[in-house]
């Protein structure tokens, strides 16, 4: 005799799942990544796959060590996405060991030390970037002018292998300071920043600017498009990126107004460095940002403000990574103090009684 199987509520179905989320984020990142890989040629492509491969390898090893099921976690896309974001945060022609170490730090120190996916306090990709930046400042600030694939100066595949694995690179011929680095150098020299190359004052230039920099800095426009796509499919909410852009735009405009010789304009701040990538793809990490919308506004505003102050007054030219990690550390506090009203209770937690609308019924 057949018996009905008893299943308990809820009976809702959701299409949201970890693999779907990861896939959509990768889809949103793909155009900007493809453009960057094209801009920086074969060495960037090789490094990109080295980082993703090492992320998968360390993910598998960590899962084995923690005695967790390897295949489902490995295939949910989270390790690939983490590696991908690490690649976007590194200089495109970094040596292979920087890439492998980046994957190792992100997956092992950024994620599995805390207990794996969903347990980490800090964004793994940013942990890797900052640990590498502090440890290897020379390699991590080696930026070059874009060398589009198949262009004359662009290295072919075997030269690219030489660059990534053997360090065969003529640094002086290709190196080029990113706009933020140029500004920092002028700051150190006590000069006006007016002479920095690539300062932008109008929006189209800022968005399309093909600037020397990291992988994730080459194409602000495509990153914004990817971010809008993520907003449209509701993978991210608008609160964190909006608050980041708004606070940075506000503070940078005020600073630029009062001291244009020291502070670049708001557009340079918004569309140089890793700000756009951080706003849409890294600060919006589900695990490390606050859960409430108000909390996310505070979080984003904090990241924007900290980025400005680190860029303007610290020894580091770029501050998005530090700002995101610092605000990640604040997330538990924000979540503690910003709590949404519980259904059926007042703001202070008292049960709502005797306040039902009168009349009607009878």
Partner 1 sequence: MSTKAPDYRTIINDGLWTRNVVLAQLLALCPLMAVTATATNGLGMGIATTFVLVASGFSVSLWRGFITPEIRIPVFVLIIASQVTLVEMGMNAWLHELYKVLGLFIPLIVTNCAILGRAEAFASRNDVIPSMVDGFFMGFGFTAVLVVIGGIREVLGSGALFSNASLLLGEQFSFLETVVFGGDYKGFLLLILPPGGFIVLGFLIALKNVIDAARVKRASQRAGDSVPAAISKRVT
With respect to partner 1, which residue has the nearer C-beta, 183 or 325? 325
- For residue 175, what are the β-bridge partners? 144
Give least dist CB 134 to partner 1, A: 6
Closest CA to 28 of 243, 226, 270, 274: 226
With respect to partner 1, which residue has the nearer C-beta, 85 or 131? 131
Report CA dihedral (275, 143, 220, 108) to the nearest 10 degrees.
-50
Residue 162 binds partner 1 (CB under 8 A) = no
Angle at alpha carbon of residue 136, lines to 66 and 220, rounded to 5°: 90
End-to-end CA distance of the chain: 49
Buried b (16+ CB within 10 A) or exposed e, 56-79: bbbbbebbeeeeeeeeebbebbbb
Using CB under 8 A, count the residues that bind partner 1: 9
With respect to partner 1, which residue has the nearer C-beta, 99 or 300? 99
With respect to partner 1, which residue has the nearer C-beta, 141 or 294? 141
Give least dist CB 138 to partner 1, A: 8
Give least dist CB 283 to partner 1, A: 22
With respect to partner 1, which residue has the nearer C-beta, 113 or 261? 113
d(CA 338, CA 301): 15
Give least dist CB 164 to partner 1, A: 16
Tokens of 331: 């997330």
- For residue 147, what are the β-bridge partners? none
Tokens of 99: 């890439």
d(CA 334, CA 195): 41
Give least dist CB 102 to partner 1, A: 12
Give least dist CB 297 to partner 1, A: 30
Residue matched to tokens 């306040």? 355
Q: Between 96-104 and 78-88, two packed helices, what is the crossing angle to 10 degrees? A: 130
DSSP at 145: -
With respect to partner 1, which residue has the nearer C-beta, 22 or 132? 132
- Region 121-150 residues binding partner 1, contact defined as CB under 8 A: 131, 134-139
DSSP-assigned states of every residue in 230-254:
HHHTTSS-SHHHHHHHHHHHHHHHH
Give least dist CB 273 to partner 1, A: 22
- Region 212-251 residues binding partner 1, contact defined as CB under 8 A: none
- Region 81-120 residues binding partner 1, contact defined as CB under 8 A: 109, 113
With respect to partner 1, which residue has the nearer C-beta, 109 or 262? 109
Q: What are phi and psi of 274, to 5 degrees?
A: -100, 25
Give least dist CB 169 to partner 1, A: 14
Q: What are phi and psi of 347, to 5 degrees?
A: -55, -35
Contact footprint for partner 1 (CB under 8 A): 109, 113, 131, 134-139
């Amino acid at each position: 005799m057949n018996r009905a199987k008893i299943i308990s509520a809820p009976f809702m179905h959701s299409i949201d799942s970890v693999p779907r989320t990861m896939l959509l984020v990768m889809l949103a990142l793909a155009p900007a990544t493809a453009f960057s890989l094209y801009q920086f040629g074969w060495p960037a492509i090789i490094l990109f796959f080295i980082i993703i491969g090492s992320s998968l390898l360390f993910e598998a090893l960590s899962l084995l060590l923690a005695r967790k099921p390897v295949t489902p976690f490995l295939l949910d896309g989270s390790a690939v996405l983490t590696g991908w974001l690490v690649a976007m945060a590194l200089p495109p022609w970094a040596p292979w060991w920087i890439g492998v170490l980046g994957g190792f730090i992100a997956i092992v120190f950024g994620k599995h030390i805390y207990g794996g996916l969903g347990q980490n306090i800090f964004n793994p990709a940013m942990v890797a970037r900052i640990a590498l930046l502090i440890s290897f400042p020379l390699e991590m600030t080696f930026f070059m002018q874009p060398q589009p694939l198949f262009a004359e100066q662009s290295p072919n595949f075997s030269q690219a292998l030489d660059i990534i694995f053997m360090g065969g690179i003529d640094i002086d011929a290709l190196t080029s300071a990113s706009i933020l680095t140029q500004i920092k150098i002028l700051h150190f020299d006590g000069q006006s920043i007016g002479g920095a190359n690539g300062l932008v004052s109008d929006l189209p230039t800022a968005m399309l600017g093909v600037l020397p920099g990291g992988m994730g800095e080459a194409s602000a426009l495509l990153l914004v498009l990817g971010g809008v796509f993520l907003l449209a499919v509701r993978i991210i909410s608008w609160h964190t990126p909006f608050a980041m852009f708004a606070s940075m735009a506000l503070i940078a405009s005020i600073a630029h107004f009062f001291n244009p010789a020291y502070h670049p304009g708001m557009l340079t701040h918004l569309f140089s460095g890793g700000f756009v990538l951080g706003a849409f793809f890294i600060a919006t990490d589900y695990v490390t940002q606050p859960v409430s919308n108000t909390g996310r506004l505070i979080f984003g505003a904090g990241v924007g403000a900290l980025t400005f102050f680190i860029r303007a007054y610290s020894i580091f030219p770029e501050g998005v990574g530090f700002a995101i990690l610092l605000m990640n550390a604040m997330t538990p506090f924000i979540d503690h103090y910003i709590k949404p009203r519980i259904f059926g209770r007042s703001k202070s937690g008292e049960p709502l009684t005797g306040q039902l609308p009168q009349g009607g019924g009878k």
